[in-house]
């Protein structure tokens, strides 16, 4: 595949610059003084079992919010509702003040500026790190049109900027398959960034990482917060502590507690249902 792509790139005129290669900010996204994400009274049942039960969650622009909770608390289901994969039975879900997430399907929600990173990295192993970012910049416009399109200097700068953010400048031309597990996770975060999402949903990024990789992931996420808003679902409490951000504890589909890690880990209800001996 790599050879074919290289051959096509060398033989085809890549002078055409396609507009679709530049991500656009959704003009509907108005945050004002309010919340970037507003979930209220959300409930969803599966076969009579309430996986999400009258959930309220308010996320401010630029926040890095950690969502913790025991297995089955509803963390994944909550993310599925935000991204349009699961439709709730009741409640409201707004992105900014004007975008009603419950009236949109998954591609529309992604297009509106919500990116999701699943636990397992899914990068194009045979393509270079640079090429993975290039493909991600074009979204779902197709591999071939993207590879045949010529990059403008500002697009190359954007990719180089993301390479710096994710700490993979030295691996720019390596096939993604040659990266370590942690590096693949950073590349996938970089691929999300190429779409310029306002809100990033990140699911357990540090599972399987070395301590050093975990530290760098913490730095990456804290650096991204501010310009981006991040919701991080995480089971690793040491990692959550190291990030020192606002924490929401989910239990039985509802918010059990919110606050700093120090506040929630001294909350007796949280200790009882989740942290237990670990706190
Ligand atoms: N499609 C589905 N059909 C039936 N039950 C479901 C479905 N999706 C989730 N559930 C149930 O809803 C509850 C919440 O699941 P969810 O995966 O959201 O929890 P979680 O907090 O992400 O758990 P974990 O930390 O183990 O990933 C669980 O009891 C789960 O079995």
Output the six-digit token pair for 192.
């999300």
Output the six-digit token pair for 76.
């994944």
* Nearest-CA residue for atom 8 of ligand 1: 77
In the chain, the percentage of residues whose pLDDT exceeds 70 is 83
pLDDT over threshold 70, residue 161: yes
Which of 48, 74, 88 has the most ligand 1 atoms within 8 A of CB, as the residue to mutate? 74
* Nearest-CA residue for atom 24 of ligand 1: 71
Q: pLDDT digit string (tens) for 18-39?
A: 444 444 556 666 666 579 999 9
* pLDDT of res. 16: 45
DSSP-derived 3-state class of residue 24:
coil
Partners of 99 in beta bridges:
95
* Nearest-CA residue for atom 12 of ligand 1: 51
DSSP-derived 3-state class of residue 220:
helix
Output the six-digit token pair for 104.
């949109």
* pLDDT of res. 120: 76
Q: pLDDT digit string (tens) for 88-97?
A: 999 999 999 8
Q: What is the ipTM of this complex?
A: 0.95
In whole angstroms, what is the distance from residue 136 CA to residue 117 CA? 13
Mean pLDDT of 235-253: 92
CA-78 nearest atom, ligand 1 = 18
* Nearest-CA residue for atom 6 of ligand 1: 46
* pLDDT of res. 137: 84
Count of other CB atoms within 10 angstroms of residue 153: 7
pLDDT over threshold 70, residue 217: yes
CA-80 nearest atom, ligand 1 = 18
CA atoms within 13 A on the CB side of 74: 28
* pLDDT of res. 37: 96
* Nearest-CA residue for atom 17 of ligand 1: 76
Domain ranges of the chain: 26-124+174-278
Partners of 55 in beta bridges:
42
Query: 4 pLDDT band (50/70/90 cuts)?
Result: low
Class of 26-124+174-278 in CATH: alpha beta
CA distances from 68 to 4, 86, 215, 218 (A): 45, 20, 19, 16
Residues framing ligand 1 (Cβ under 6 A): 46, 51, 69, 71-77
Max CA separation in the chain (angstroms): 67
DSSP-derived 3-state class of residue 146:
helix
């Amino acid at each position: 595949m790599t050879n074919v792509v290289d051959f096509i790139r060398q033989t085809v005129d890549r002078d055409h610059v396609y507009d679709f290669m530049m991500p656009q900010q959704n003009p509907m996204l108005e945050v004002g003084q309010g919340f970037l994400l507003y979930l209220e009274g959300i409930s969803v049942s599966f076969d009579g079992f309430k996986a999400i039960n009258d959930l309220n969650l308010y996320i401010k622009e630029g926040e890095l919010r950690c969502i913790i909770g025991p297995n089955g608390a509803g963390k994944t289901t909550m993310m599925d509702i935000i991204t349009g994969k699961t439709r709730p039975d009741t409640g409201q879900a707004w992105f900014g003040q004007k975008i009603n997430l419950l009236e949109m399907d998954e591609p529309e929600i992604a297009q509106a500026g919500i990116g999701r990173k699943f636990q397992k990295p899914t990068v194009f192993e045979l393509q270079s790190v640079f090429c993975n970012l290039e493909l991600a910049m074009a979204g779902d416009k197709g591999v071939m049109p993207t590879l045949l399109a010529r990059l403008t200097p500002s697009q190359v700068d954007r990719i180089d900027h993301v390479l710096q953010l994710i700490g993979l400048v030295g691996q720019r031309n390596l096939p993604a398959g040659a990266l370590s597990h942690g590096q693949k996770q950073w590349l996938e975060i970089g691929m999300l960034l190429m779409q310029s999402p306002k809100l990033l949903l990140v699911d357990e990024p540090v599972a399987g990482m070395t301590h050093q990789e975990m530290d760098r992931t913490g730095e990456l996420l804290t650096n991204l917060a501010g310009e981006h808003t991040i919701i991080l679902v995480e089971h690793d409490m040491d990692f959550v502590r190291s990030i020192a951000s606002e924490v929401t504890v989910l239990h039985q589909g509802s918010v059990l507690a919110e606050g700093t890690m120090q506040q929630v880990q001294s909350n007796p209800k949280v200790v009882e249902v989740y942290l237990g001996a670990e706190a």
